[in-house]
């Protein structure tokens, strides 16, 4: 007899909801939820997907796809073209602005927390710093 989901979950302990971002190596993506409301995916492009509350349509989380690939591409480009390094440095605030725009409905503190934990921004900043060394 096949095991049902209820059978699988029976007797397991759960830690509860967490707002910590989670990186998934298989699939190379990062997700973060700031609310545990039932949500649906709202793809913005091939890299960014917002999770919106089914009840209020407010963004309650996000998914960034291709994290490692993005960082590796950035590092290769920085090494290959110093002029591009300056352009990428200028692009970081643009990416921050784009992320902020997608977080409509989040408090200023939540927005700053998202930016502080944003893996792509961190990887991009790290790649810029490494290229300058």
Q: Is residue 7 part of a domain?
A: no
Q: How many domains does the chain have?
A: 1
Q: Is residue 1 part of a domain?
A: no
Q: Is residue 9 part of a domain?
A: no
Joined together, the tokens standing for residue 26 give 């298989």
Q: Is residue 21 part of a domain?
A: yes
Q: Is residue 108 part of a domain?
A: yes
- pTM value is 0.50
Residue 46 neighbours by CB under 8 Å, 6+ apart: 65, 66
Q: Convert the pLDDT of each residue in 64-97 to its tens digit.
A: 999 888 888 877 776 766 766 777 787 788 788 8
Q: Is residue 6 part of a domain?
A: no
Share of the chain above pLDDT 90, in %: 14
Exposure letters 73-111 (e unless 16+ CB within 10 A, then b) = ebbeebeeeeeebeebeeeeeebeeebeebbeebeeeeb
Q: Which domain holds residue 123?
A: 17-132
């Amino acid at each position: 007899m096949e095991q049902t989901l209820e059978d699988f979950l029976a007797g397991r302990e759960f830690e509860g909801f967490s707002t910590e971002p989670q990186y998934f190596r298989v699939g190379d993506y990062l997700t973060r939820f700031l609310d545990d409301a039932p949500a649906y995916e709202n793809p913005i492009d091939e890299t960014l997907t917002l999770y919106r509350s089914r009840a209020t349509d407010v963004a309650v989380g996000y998914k960034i796809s291709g994290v490692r690939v993005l960082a590796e591409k950035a590092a290769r480009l920085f090494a290959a073209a110093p002029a591009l390094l300056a352009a990428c440095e200028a692009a970081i605030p643009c990416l921050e602005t784009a992320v902020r725009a997608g977080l409509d409905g989040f408090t200023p503190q939540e927005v700053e927390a998202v930016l502080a934990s944003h893996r792509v921004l961190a990887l991009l900043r790290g790649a810029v710093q490494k290229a300058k060394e």
